[in-house]
Structure 1
Amino acid sequence: MEKILFVASESVPFIKTGGLADVVGSLPKYFDKEKYDVRVMLPKYMCMKDEWKEKLTYCTHFYMDLNWRTQYVGILELEYDGITFYFIDNEYYFNGFAPYGDMYSDIEKFAFFSKAVLSALPLIDFRPDILHCHDWQSGLVPVYLDNFRYGNEFYRGIKTIMTIHNLKFQGTWDTKRVMDITGLPRYYFAPDKLEAYKDANYLKGGIVYADRITTVSSSYAEEIKTPFYGEKLDGLMNARANSLSGIVNGIDYEDYDPADDPHIEKNYTVDNFRKEKVKNKTALQKELGLEADHRVMMIGVVSRLTDQKGFDLISYVMDELCQDAVQLVVLGTGEEQYENMFRHYAWKYSDKVSANIFYSEPMSHKVYASCDAFLMPSLFEPCGLSQLMSLRYGTVPIVRETGGLKDTVEPYNEFEKTGTGFSFMNYNAHEMLGTVRYAERIYYDKKRDWNKIVERGMQKDFSWKNSAKQYEELYESILC
C-alpha cells in the first residue's frame, strides 16, 4: 500500500482561510483506500475551535533544534471521516487569533513547521512514500528533506510533490535572516536554489527540490510559464516544465448538493430545477429586501473582494449594469474600496443590489441556489471553486477565460447549442459587460436555450473523484 502524507497550513473542518483548506480536507477521502493510505499533517493553531481541540489525542513529543534554538514539538492526532490528521503543537508559534500574521513571524513559524513535519515522521510509525506539500508554507519540506538525507537512511527514497494553489504568495524574506531562522547551510541560498532577487523564497525552494510540481488547473500550469502570470518565477517554471502538470480541483459533492442542501429554501435536482429552483430566488429576494419578482435575472457574486477577482472591472461598469433588468447579490469581504463600492450601489439601487459585506457558509449556499447567473471576471484564477459550485447548483457562470475558469466553463455556442456558461477573453470592463448582456439576452429571449445551459452544467462532474484519479496516476508515475 502506498503511503501519502499531505503537508499543509490549513484544512477543513479545522481551520480555513481559503480554497486550500477545501482541497486538503476533501481530497484525501476520495483516494482508493485499498491502494493508498493518505494522511494529513497540519499546525495545531490556538485559534482552532475548542470542539476540535478537545477531540485531539496526544501522540508524542520531542525537542528539535531550529538552528541555535531548541523548540518543543508536540504531535496530536485525530481520525476524521476515515482520515488520520496529525497536528504539530507549539504554542509559541501557533498562538494568535488567526493562522497567519505578519510575514516575519510566518516565515519562522513555517520553517519550524516544515522541519517539525520531517522530524516527527520516525516517531509516528508512518514513513510516507510521498510527501505532498501545499503552497509556500510547506515549501521548505523538500529542501529540509534534501538536507536530512545526508547520513540518515530513514529519509532516503521519500518523494515530494509541490502543489501551487496560488503562485502570487511565495513566502519571501531577507536571505540572512532566513539562514539564521532555518539553520540550512549557505549552499542552499544560491540563485539556482532558494534565493530569488536577493531574498530567500520558500516556494521557490519547494519548486526546485520537489520531484514533481502541480498546479490546480492545466491552463494555469501553462500560464505561469509566462511573465504576466509567472510572478517572477516564469523562468524557473519553464526550466521545470517537464515536471509540471495541472490537475483541476474538485468540490465536495456531499456538501454542495442542491438535492438535499439544508441551507436552501427549496431542494431541487437536474430533473425538476425548472419548477423548483426559482423558489429559492423569491425567498432570497424577500430575505434581502430586493424587489420580489421571480422573472428578473439575478446575478450572484461570492468572493474575496480583491483586485485579483476582477472587481475593478465590475466597479467601472456598475452604473451601466444597474440600468439593466437585473439584480445583483454580493457576498464577501476584502479590500475597503470594493466593500464601500458595493455598499454605495446597494444604497443607490436598493431594490436591485444587495451588498452582504461578511462571509457566511449558509448564505453562500443560498446565493448559489437562488441566482440565475454567477459573475467571476478574475484577472487570474489558478482554479477557482465558485464556478464549480455554480454549475452544481444550476447557476450559469459568466467568467473570464483564465486558468481554471477556462478549463471548467465551456462557453455557450448558440448555433451548435453547446456550452455550460458564458466567457470573455480580454481583461476589459466593457467586454465583460457585453458578455453579461449577451447572457441577459439568452435568459430573457431564449429561455429554452438557457435551461439547456443550466442542465448541461448540472450534469457535469467536478467532484473530487475525477481529481483523485489524476493524482493517483501522478503518484504511480513517481513511484514506479
Structure 2
Amino acid sequence: MTLRILFAASEVFPLIKTGGLADVVGSLPSALMAQGADVRIAVPAYRDWRSRVETPQQRLQLSLHGHTVTVWEAKHPQLDAPLWLFDCAELFDRPGDPYHDAQGLPWLDNGLRFGLFSEAVAIAAEARETTGFDTDVLHAHDWQAGLSLPWLRERDGLAAGVFTIHNLAYQGNYPASLCQALGLPAQWWQIDGVEFHGELSQLKAGIVYADHVTTVSPTYAAEIQTAQHGIGMAGLLHARSTHLSGILNGIDTEVWNPQRDKSIAYRYDARRVTAGKRANKTALQQQLGLTVDDAPLLIGVVTRFAHQKGIDLLCDALPTLMRHPLQFAILGNGDPFIAATLRAASEQAPGRIALHEGFDEALAHRIVASADVFLMPSRYEPCGLTQMYSQRYGTVPIVHHTGGLADSVTDTTEQTLADGSASGIHFLNADVGGVLYGIERALQLREDSRAWKAVQRTGMARDFSWAPIATAYLSLYRKLINQRRPAL
C-alpha cells in the first residue's frame, strides 16, 4: 500500500529557511518518496512565492474567520514532493523572515496567522475529492502547525496524526482571547486540551491531540520528560510517554560530502584525510588571517550566539584556553554581548582567533573541512546537525553530552577505541570546566596520531543519511494507520 503523507510546517528549504526545521521538512519527504511513499508539503505562501515555484494550480479555497485562504499545488525545482502553498496575503505576504518584522520583533498576530494555517491544513488533509490526495498521515511540525491535529480530530478525520517537536522552548503560547478569534471549540479549553497556565498553547495542542509525538533525537525525548528540560511540560510529556519517541534527524550527504564539496579548497576522502585537512586548514588560515601553522589545534565553531548554544561558556573559558596551542575559527551571530566579547577576544589575539559575524554557507563548509575539532557546548540540543557534518569531514566533534549530540557522537574511551566506535569527545557538565575538559581531552588525543586517525575515519564512515530515518518513520506511520483503520 502506498502511504500518502501530508507534511505541515512553517518553513521548508530551499523555499524559506530560518533554521533546522526547514532542512528536515525539505529532506525527509524525498527520503520517504524514495521508499515508495507519496508526500505533499503544506507551508504558508510567503512573499514572492510565485517567482520561486513552477506551475501553480489552485486546489482549494477556504473562508476561515473572515480570511480567504487559497491552496495552490506547485513544484519547486529542488524538491521532489509537491508543495501545497496556503495563500492569504494579509497573513503571509510580508517582508522578512516568517516570524519577525523589519525590526526583528515577532509579528503581533503570529498566533492568529499560524492558527489559521493549521486549521486550513486540517481541512485540506480531508479534502480528497478536491485535492486528489487521500491523506493517510498528517505529520505536523512544531507549534506553528500544532492546531492542525485537534482540528483533524474535530473533523473525525481518518488520517493518523504525528507531531514532531523540534525545540520544546518554542511553544506558541498566546492569550486565551485568541481562542475566540480562531473559533476554537469551547471543549478544547481544558487542562487536558489546549489550555496551558491560562493561555492557549499551540505546541500543547499538537502534543495532546497527536496519535504519536516524536522529537528529533531519542535522548531529547527522554530529557523533555524531566523538570530540567521540560519547560513546564514535563508532566504532560511523561503522561504521553507511551506515545512519545525520538528519531534522530539525518543530513544531506550529497551537500555535505568532502569528496565533492565545491565550497572547500581541497577535496578528500578517508584515505586522504590527513593531507586533505592539512591543505584546507592552510587555506582557511590564509583566508581568515590566522597564523599559517599546522601545529596549533584549530577549533571550529559555527553557531548562533545564544544561551542555548553555550557560546558564553567558551567566552569565559578563553583566558585559560589561550595558554594552550590553539586557534579558533568562529562563524555566527546573535546575542550582542557574546558577539562583542568574541570580537574583543579576536582583536586581542590576532592570528589566533578569527571571528566572522553573520552567516556564510560556503565559509561554514570551509570551517568544517579545515578545523581539527568542532566545538558544540550547547546547554541542550534537540538534535544538532553540525556534529554530523564534522564527522563526515574527519573533524573531531567536542560536544556536551545532551540530546542529539549524545546520540550522534560516540565518546572516545579505551573501550570505544578498541571496538572501533569512537567518533568524538563528550563532556558531561555544561559549564566552563566542561568546555576546558573537552578541549584538553582533544589536545591529548591528538598526541596519539594512530588513535586520532582512527576517530576521524570512524566518523567519516558513519551513515547520517535520511534513508534509515525514513524507514523508521514509515514503520511508525504504518503502525498508526493500522490502529486507526484496522481493516488496512
TM-score in same-fold range (> 0.5) = yes
Deviations 1:68-113 (A, max 9, x none): x242424241154432111111111112221112253110110111
Return the offset for 1:181. 2.0
Q: How does 1:442-461 map to 2 (within 5 A)?
A: 442-443=445-446, 445-461=447-463
Q: Is the 8 A contact 1:76 1:88 kept in 2?
A: no
Match of residue 36 from structure 1? 37
Deviations 1:322-375 (A, max 9, x none): 221011011111111111111111101011001111101111100110001000
Q: Is the 8 A contact 2:33 2:39 kept in 1?
A: no
Match of residue 151 from structure 2? 144
Match of residue 99 from structure 1? 98
Shift of the 33–311 alpha-carbon distance from structure 1 to 2, 3 Å rule, reads: closer
Distance in 1 (CA, whole Å) between partners of 2:314 and 2:380 is 15
Q: Equivalent of 1:438, from 438, 441, 444?
A: 441
Q: How does 1:290-369 map to 2 (within 5 A)?
A: 290-369=290-369
Return the offset for 1:416. 5.3
Q: Equivalent of 2:134, from 101, 106, 127?
A: 127
Distance in 2 (CA, whole Å) between partners of 1:465 and 1:420 is 21
Return the offset for 1:190. 0.8
Distance in 1 (CA, whole Å) between partners of 2:244 and 2:375 is 30
Q: 110-119 or 285-294, which moves further after superposition? A: 110-119
Residue type of the alignment partner of 1:148: R
Task: Please state whether the residue corresponding to 1:426 is helix, strand or coil.
Answer: coil
Q: 198-207 or 270-279, which moves further after superposition? A: 270-279
Q: Equivalent of 2:84, from 86, 94, 108?
A: 86
RMSD value, Cα: 1.5
Q: Equivalent of 1:467, from 466, 469, 472?
A: 469
TM-score by length of 2: 0.93
Distance in 1 (CA, whole Å) between partners of 2:213 and 2:24 is 16
Q: Is the 8 A contact 2:122 2:149 kept in 1?
A: no
Match of residue 217 from structure 1? 217
Match of residue 77 from structure 1? 74
Percent sequence identity over aligned pairs: 36
The answer on 1:422 being equivalent to 2:425 is yes
Runs of 4+ in 1 over 4 A off after TM superposition: none
Match of residue 486 from structure 2? none
Return the offset for 1:294. 2.1
Deviations 1:255-283 (A, max 9, x none): 10000001000000111112222111100
Q: How does 1:192-207 map to 2 (within 5 A)?
A: 192-207=192-207
Shift of the 343–249 alpha-carbon distance from structure 1 to 2, 3 Å rule, reads: same
Residue type of the alignment partner of 2:426: S
Residue type of the alignment partner of 1:18: G
Q: Which runs of 5+ in 1 are unaligned?
A: 150-155
Return the offset for 1:171. 0.1
Match of residue 14 from structure 2? 13
Task: Please state whether the residue corresponding to 1:302 is helix, strand or coil.
Answer: strand
Deviations 1:194-220 (A, max 9, x none): 001111100101110000000000000
Distance in 2 (CA, whole Å) between partners of 1:74 and 1:461 is 37
Shift of the 198–298 alpha-carbon distance from structure 1 to 2, 3 Å rule, reads: same
Shift of the 334–272 alpha-carbon distance from structure 1 to 2, 3 Å rule, reads: same
Shift of the 148–216 alpha-carbon distance from structure 1 to 2, 3 Å rule, reads: same
Q: 272-281 or 126-135, which moves further after superposition? A: 272-281
Q: Is the 8 A contact 2:316 2:432 kept in 1?
A: yes
Distance in 2 (CA, whole Å) between partners of 1:96 and 1:239 is 41
Distance in 2 (CA, whole Å) between partners of 1:134 and 1:63 is 22
Match of residue 254 from structure 1? 254
Distance in 2 (CA, whole Å) between partners of 1:170 and 1:442 is 41
Q: Is the 8 A contact 2:73 2:82 kept in 1?
A: no
Q: Is the 8 A contact 2:296 2:326 kept in 1?
A: yes
Task: Please state whether the residue corresponding to 1:116 is helix, strand or coil.
Answer: helix
Residue type of the alignment partner of 2:429: N
Residue type of the alignment partner of 2:122: L
Deviations 1:36-56 (A, max 9, x none): 1122111111165x7515x35
Q: Is the 8 A contact 2:123 2:152 kept in 1?
A: no
Return the offset for 1:130. 0.3
Task: Please state whether the residue corresponding to 2:397 is helix, strand or coil.
Answer: strand
Distance in 2 (CA, whole Å) between partners of 1:250 and 1:217 is 10
Distance in 2 (CA, whole Å) between partners of 1:161 and 1:72 is 24
Distance in 2 (CA, whole Å) between partners of 1:216 and 1:454 is 25
Q: 92-101 or 223-232, which moves further after superposition? A: 92-101
TM-score by length of 1: 0.95
Distance in 2 (CA, whole Å) between partners of 1:57 and 1:369 is 39
Distance in 2 (CA, whole Å) between partners of 1:360 and 1:284 is 14
Q: Is the 8 A contact 1:302 1:331 kept in 2?
A: yes
Q: Is the 8 A contact 2:59 2:73 kept in 1?
A: yes
Q: Equivalent of 1:114, from 102, 110, 118?
A: 118
Shift of the 83–333 alpha-carbon distance from structure 1 to 2, 3 Å rule, reads: same
Return the offset for 1:180. 1.9
